[in-house]
Structure 1
Amino acid sequence: MARKQVAKALPAGWDVEITFATNGLEGIQAIRDGKGEMVFLDLTMPEMDGYQVLEAVKNEGLDAMIIVISGDIQPDAYTRVTKMGAMEFIQKPVSPEKLQEVLRKFGLI
């Protein structure tokens, strides 16, 4: 449900290929396979959480722009993910306006 909500919030006509992962292990494998140039990452996932995915991306030197989208809005979570390399942190549920604002901020649209 959350994955579809994020996909619907993407800009209309944005020319991207979308790959969905149902857990962190699938997510990190997709990034390793080159399908994660731009990643929208939840912190709470089965198999491997978002923090572990961020750590793997950093440790393996993978090239991925990561925006965390999570319901965990504690200040510690924001600080932790940005120190781990996330570009931004957006609170769930994400609105199309907020998502597009962040994408514009980084020149992605």
Structure 2
Amino acid sequence: MPLPIVIADDSLLARKVLTKALPSDWDVDVSYASNGREALGLYREGKASVMFLDLTMPDMTGYQVLEALQHEDLNTFVIVVSADVQPMAQARVRALGAAAFIAKPVTPEAVLPILKEYGLYV
């Protein structure tokens, strides 16, 4: 059974780049969100065992998504994907429950070790 994942980014190009960075043989069902509100909706529909989450999006930011997940005690494995690589941003997302942080532009070499470390990909 495919693992349901969500890629949340307001940039279509960034969503495509991230999709291509995923292992080609990873058995996943990918859903896409262009803002945080859509990402939360997909989570609530059961489509986000793993969520790749941009921080800077319209309508609802990645930080707000993380706060909502934490506040509502929702359980998903969040990997933040952002160009904001400042240590403060990375510390903040980890404090809000993100498991990992990947700097943009995303590469397979950045994604694969995280997936393997957390047993998401063997």
When normalised by structure 2's length, the TM-score is 0.87
- Give the aligned partner of residue 29 of structure 1: 41
Unaligned runs of 5+ in 2: 1-12
Runs of 4+ in 1 over 6 A off after TM superposition: none
- Structure 1 vs Structure 2 CA RMSD: 0.7
Superposed displacement of residue 70, structure 1? 0.1
Count of aligned pairs: 109
Distance across 2 between alignment mates of 1:105 and 1:70 = 20
- Give the aligned partner of residue 103 of structure 1: 115
- Give the aligned partner of residue 58 of structure 2: 46
Match of 1:88 among 89, 100, 105: 100
Q: Which has the higher strand share?
A: 2
Distance across 1 between alignment mates of 2:110 and 2:52 = 13
1:71 and 2:79 correspond: no
Distance across 2 between alignment mates of 1:3 and 1:85 = 22
> Identity of paired residues, percent?
50
When normalised by structure 1's length, the TM-score is 0.97
Distance across 2 between alignment mates of 1:65 and 1:105 = 13
Distance across 2 between alignment mates of 1:97 and 1:5 = 13
Superposed displacement of residue 5, structure 1? 0.6
Superposed displacement of residue 75, structure 1? 0.5
Unaligned runs of 5+ in 1: none
